[in-house]
């Protein structure tokens, strides 16, 4: 039976749109010894108006084909939002293109941010939840043909009066869709920030997500929302400990060992560290070692649980 966490790796350096940088960026990840990689496909300028630019896609496929990561995933647009009433059809068209790119590049998973919106007059949160759920269910049918998982990522509130599902509510969306091709991404820092902002129990939110989680985003923070605070330079945010900092493991105060000793996830889950080489190349080797220990801890818990169930 597959391990709960089957591979550990890094998010590829986000491109400026120059495909010539892609090979060097993938090489950076491979040289760490990581066995997984996530490509910010939205930054490679492959999709235009929802259409794949075929020549450019072929160039990207050739470069990616030079690497043999155990697990490859793609991250869809950060602004992709199935709660966007005005442009919903465009959002779906872009996902269809990215699912096709997953198939071409050999990526088994596409990350999609969970939705958010300001409620319109007469609109209820349930209306937005339904819009997102219906769109994901439609996309799941396409993902099934490609044998790709759509992974819905929990996101924190970014503006006052914005509606977003809590991490546990987002997990309920995944359950309601009821497709093996739709799973959750647990982004621990995002969950921490949202839990602090809404006065929720962070660990309870993680427990609610874990059973439907098939992908992990790991990076550290202090769980403090930046909705009302802006900084001149990312290093200032680090100094203050405010916001979605994407820090190396151990630079924030997330209790990683306790979390991974307690939680297990769906089989064949990938752990991706969103700790970029453009800021923290020197810290990546230690993060990789630490993340592998965390994965082993979670896998051991799952193995022991299965053994106990077998005895029963």
| Residue 305: pLDDT over 60 | no
As a whole number, mean pLDDT of residues 59-82 equals: 97
As a whole number, mean pLDDT of residues 73-85 equals: 97
Number of domains within the chain: 1
As a whole number, mean pLDDT of residues 275-292 equals: 96
What are the tokens at 252? 């924030």
Instruction: Return the percentage of the chain with pLDDT > 70, whole number.
Output: 96
- Looking at residue 17, its pLDDT comes to 81
pLDDT in tens, 228-243: 888 999 899 999 999 9
Which 3 state secondary structure label does DSSP give 118?
strand
First-to-last CA distance in the chain?
19
> Residue 173: what are its φ and ψ, rounded to 5°?
-60, -45
| Residue 193: pLDDT over 90 | yes
- Looking at residue 310, its pLDDT comes to 47
**pTM to 2 decimal places:** 0.95
What range defines the domain where residue 82 resides?
5-311
Distance CA 198, CA 155 (A): 13
DSSP 92-116: HHHHHHHHHHHHHHT--EEEEEPPE
As a whole number, mean pLDDT of residues 265-272 equals: 97
Burial code of 64-77, b = ≥16 C-beta within 10 A, e = fewer?
beeeebebbbbbbb
- Looking at residue 309, its pLDDT comes to 45
Beta strands 116-118 and 149-153: pairing type? unpaired
Burial status of residue 296 (CB atoms within 10 A of its CB: 0-12, 13-18, 19 or more)? middle
| Residue 160: pLDDT over 80 | yes
- Looking at residue 311, its pLDDT comes to 45
As a whole number, mean pLDDT of residues 277-296 equals: 96
What are the tokens at 307? 């053994």
**In terms of pLDDT, which residue wins out, 305 or 76?**
76
Angle of helix 202-209 versus helix 188-198 axis, rounded to 10? 130
Q: What's the CATH number where 71 sits? A: 3.20.20.150
């Amino acid at each position: 039976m597959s391990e709960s966490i089957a591979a550990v790796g890094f998010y590829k350096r986000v491109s400026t749109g120059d495909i010539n940088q892609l090979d060097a960026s993938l090489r950076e990840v491979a040289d760490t010894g990581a066995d997984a990689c996530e490509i910010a496909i939205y930054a490679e300028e492959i999709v235009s108006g929802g259409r794949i630019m075929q020549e450019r896609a072929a160039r990207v496929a050739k470069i990616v084909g030079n690497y043999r990561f155990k697990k490859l995933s793609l991250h869809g647009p950060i602004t992709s939002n199935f709660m966007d009433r005005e442009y919903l059809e465009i959002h779906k068209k872009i996902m269809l293109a990215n699912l096709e790119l997953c198939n071409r590049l050999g990526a088994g998973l596409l990350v999609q941010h969970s939705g958010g919106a300001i409620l319109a007059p007469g609109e209820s949160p349930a209306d937005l939840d339904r819009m997102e759920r219906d769109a994901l269910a439609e996309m799941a049918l396409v993902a099934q043909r490609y044998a790709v998982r759509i992974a819905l990522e929990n996101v924190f509130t970014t503006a006052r009066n914005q509606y977003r599902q809590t991490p546990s509510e987002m997990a309920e969306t995944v359950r309601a869709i009821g497709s093996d091709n739709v799973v959750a991404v647990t982004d621990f820092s995002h969950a921490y920030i949202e839990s602090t902002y809404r006065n929720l129990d962070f660990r309870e939110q993680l427990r609610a997500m874990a059973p439907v989680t098939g992908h992990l985003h790991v990076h550290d923070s202090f769980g403090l929302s930046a909705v009302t605070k802006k900084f001149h330079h990312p290093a200032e945010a680090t100094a203050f400990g405010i916001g979605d900092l994407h820090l190396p493991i151990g630079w924030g105060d997330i209790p990683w060992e306790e979390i991974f000793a307690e939680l297990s996830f769906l089989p064949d889950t990938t752990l991706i560290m969103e700790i970029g080489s453009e800021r923290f190349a020197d810290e990546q080797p230690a993060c990789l070692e630490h993340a592998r220990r965390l994965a082993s801890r979670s896998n051991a818990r799952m193995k022991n649980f299965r053994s106990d169930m077998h005895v029963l």
